[in-house]
Chain A
Amino acid sequence: MNLKRDFNTMTWVLIPLAIAINIAIGQIVYSLKIPVVVAYLDSIGTVLVGVLAGPWAGALTGLLSNLIWGLTGLNVTYAPFAAVAAVIGLLAGLFAEAGWFQKLWKVIVGGLITGLVAAVISAPIAAYVFGGVTGGGTDILVAAFRQMGLDVLGASMAQGVASDPLDKAITFFIVWLIVRALPGRFLARFPRAENVQ
């Protein structure tokens, strides 16, 4: 693992763009009124950096993305989940390193696994800081799980597991489409071009 190689100037320029992608697409998804049960799509940029520049660049993107979401006031409630976003970027980079972005079915599975891990890590944060609710549509799920007898943490985790894997699978899929559409000579400029070729 060569950190210096992963963090060249192309990576440093890519990261702000990736975070802006996260934010802009998150807004589009919201305005399209896609129920949050299906997709947030707030990590496309993070996953993209993980694929193109490696796990640590992906992790940094996720971390800063959520902190910036908080710092700019666009969505302060994202800030406590910065570590989760970092893990998403990290996993995306690791899957890419393992060649999982070269076959579609592996892309989907990678996304599902990443979503699962994200849900499990988010649950304690959501439970402790936010009382186990999201303030949005998925709280219906939380209510249902609570009614079934799950405790606060359990219901939070169940809500996450019901929605996150699909969101991340779609995210991984979209990133796969994007990197396949990039010209090879351009991809070659990124530290982890081999992940996609």
Chain B
Amino acid sequence: MSKVKVFIDNREVIVDEGTTILEAAKKVNINIPTLCYHPDQKIKGICRICIVEVEGQKNFSASCCTPVRDGMRIRTNTKKVREARKNIMQFILVRHDGDCLTCVRNGNCELQKLSEELNIKEIKYDRIVENLPIDESNPSIVRNPNKCIKCGRCIEVCHDVQGVGAIDAINRSDDLKILPGLYEKISDVACVYCGQCINVCPVGAIYEKEDIERVWDVLEDKSKHVVVQIAPAVRVSLGEMFGFKPGSIVTGKIVAFLKAIGFDKVFDTNFTADLTIIEEGSELLHRIKNGGKLPMLTSCSPGWIRYIEFFYPELLGHVSTCKSPQQMFGALTKTYYAQKFGIDPKDIVVVSIMPCTAKKAEAVREEMNSSGYQDVDIVLTTRELGKMIKESRIQLEDLEEVEFDRPFGIATGAGAIFGATGGVMEAALRTVYEKVTGKELEKIEFTALRGIDEYKEAAVEMDNMKVKVAVVNGLKNAKIILDMIKEGRADYHFIEVMCCPGGCIGGGGQPIPSTNEIKKKRIEAIYNVDISYAIRKSHLNPVVNKLYEEFLKEPLGHKSHQLLHTHYINRKN
């Protein structure tokens, strides 16, 4: 590729042809402000905040979408440029509900930050307050259109990454709005509640339905026995909200905090992740032996489940009937745990802390009450946990690390890696291999299945059987594999699907920003957690084995079917 020489603010920069002005400026540490730009998304060029002056040109150029030309002379910091940016910013601000002090994104808002950086001191134009209704129609996601700045990031992630298309830009001119198509509410359309829109929203226009107060309430209710479970992906991301570097592991601090605020027991979802492997692995072998529907698809990710229920219900027979680890945990806590410790299940409150917004909706699915009660009562996202920590004024960095409680705090490295794309498959292979061959698996790291790539596959020889597996993350990639299954081209036994790009570590409930760069760090951390465990195979988890001995008896047995397996709904209409 040929190189071009340009001058940005009188500094010479040599870059590849086709480089944008924005990228070229970054090379010399010139930081042009942006708003609609997102490092993981396509260039949109619509907010126009990033305009710069180009010598010999009458109009400004948007630096995000203008490639440099050889000899171009660019000025990013003239009075005219600064004034134009301020004007554009004011156009946005007059339509934005600027109630920052009570906003969910207070302190973590790109618009707020940009307003400060651009030194906005007045708003010259008439304020336009529309007071549009806030959409709280569903258990997971809230939309406040009064905050929306129409940057289009949520639309892109919903359409191009997830292939769902629940929201779109409707109308034109100043009447342009981002809405669930021609409907009023998100609950009216096929939204999977993945929350990826939340992670890319620069402002507080989309956020999870907050359930923090419900948790504070039950913690003060002396009649309740409140237990909490923490998903694998939460411990590798929460630290980001408190100044820890991405990829920091704060498991012990989270446990310490949750104990400090009064949870009766702090358990680990990694434990039921191990249990899932036993059930799901057994189901896979059962399907292979008995001519069941193959390939089998994983079922841990509730956004993915809603997706297939909406868009490919005819393939639901391929989905494992295993509940997700969150739901297995709830069902067991209100049965096995309640019996074992003599607690009336009606007094037990199960709280989960999840990287996910779809988990909130999963918990309230009608069929998720096999314990006789709603299996999981309250679901918080990683972000909500962060907010509780801030609200409590307990300093996370000061907390001494504490271990999980027993019995459901005992887990293996296999359960830990459920949080990253490829993790469920790797954990399953570690167990299935040993079950099938009766031999010890020497090399337990399936590196071909690791990493942020959208589509991964592997084949594992097990005695005289070659088990072929695939891993996809992001629903657009799930669609590809579903189409392959429909056309009979998916020559796999087992396919892991995670709804969110990168897996649960990139879930819709994770700290913002949640860019690919940050996700890679979280994935690294997940595999470090794996290594830190003495036991790294689910079938060697002593508590899981005890659970079968004392209560479940056998995988896929009667009790398992009752408590750990589920069915799905055709949501296509």
User: Are A and B physically bound partners?
Assistant: no
Residues of A within 8 A of B (CB): none
Residues on B lying within 8 angstroms of A by beta carbon are none
